[in-house]
Structure 1
């Protein structure tokens, strides 16, 4: 088994206040190109966080991503074990946000292990949650986010790690400045991650997932825009992923997103950059 080498990929976490312009009949109206970009960008922001978490599945507050695999070795004393064999780590320090991460190590037969073993650990189950209040100057509010993920591909000589699971998020924001001043906007999202495959060593193939699908159901209420949307993101190992918003396909440039742009291309089969 190769030595663990996680490199955090920093993607833009773009805060979108709402999704798609609508009136009473908007549920049956197709999205305009501009509206589709807004929805796709929000879904990609969630996906950026999930892919970033998969690349560096650390415990918030501990700052060193690899330390999640040092639990059970005695190097991290503040993560007691529960009756199931999982290590439970509380974390805080991100402003008014706090939460808990549960980590369970398994061997090839599915038996819970006392600690991560480079040779014998086959999978890791990571459950995390974070919630609290936000004050960003232009808006105040509250947020929560949870993940329930399993990473496999750890046994033997590693060439890739495969992630599966779900994530959920919710936020309520009251805008205090700008064109949305005085508006309260609530958003929720649920994502399913299927066979998200990240290469090892990652620097030989670039920062892009080799394959995998992230499906997100999202909803927004309040403000001048609202709506329910389904978004499917498909990775193929290249710089460009395919993103489908309510049945309409476009492309997303993953490198452009890493550099701070939304990276979204035209809505047609084959897309563009």
Structure 2
């Protein structure tokens, strides 16, 4: 209880400091937490107004909020966890971990329409295979529970094999196929077309790849070769493009 109260006080203090920083800003600002460089680079994709400056949220604020979310989830008190995990999500809207945390609580509350909304948002900014796989996996189960079976099947099919969620996705996909009376899963191309009709692009979406490509060019121009390689490696590992592979090696 003492630790919980300590986290709560810390959050109040740090949120107050963030509010002061926002009030003192001379232009439009937004306070956000980014858990790595790539997440920070993708932030502009989410903001239509490019004049908005991002103020960095303190690491301690994010992790204290995460601890409170974990506490309630560990107690299986998901109703009390929900507003806390929403605060975490609002603080780190480009972080995959905040998406996962909110999705997990919403799923335990069987609020599958909201799971779909959060997972779709995550897929619009995701760039790494494990995150893309997990989001498609949770999206598939949510669509299944909303009786959108074709979409669910397509999402299961698009979970990259070899990722952590791949085995579970294959098992659940087989169960869904049995329910649907389907013998063969859709091809990759058929699954992509199904989600496209539902307004989803196969990630990483062009806005994200363009943002990372632009960032890589600017980083190289300014001598930051390691960070440029991080951008290129991420796109290469996800997209499997030979040219990206060659470029990645040239920066090594």
More helix by share: 2
User: Same fold judged by TM-score > 0.5?
Assistant: no
More strand by share: 1
TM range (shorter): under 0.3
**TM-score, reference length from structure 2:** 0.25
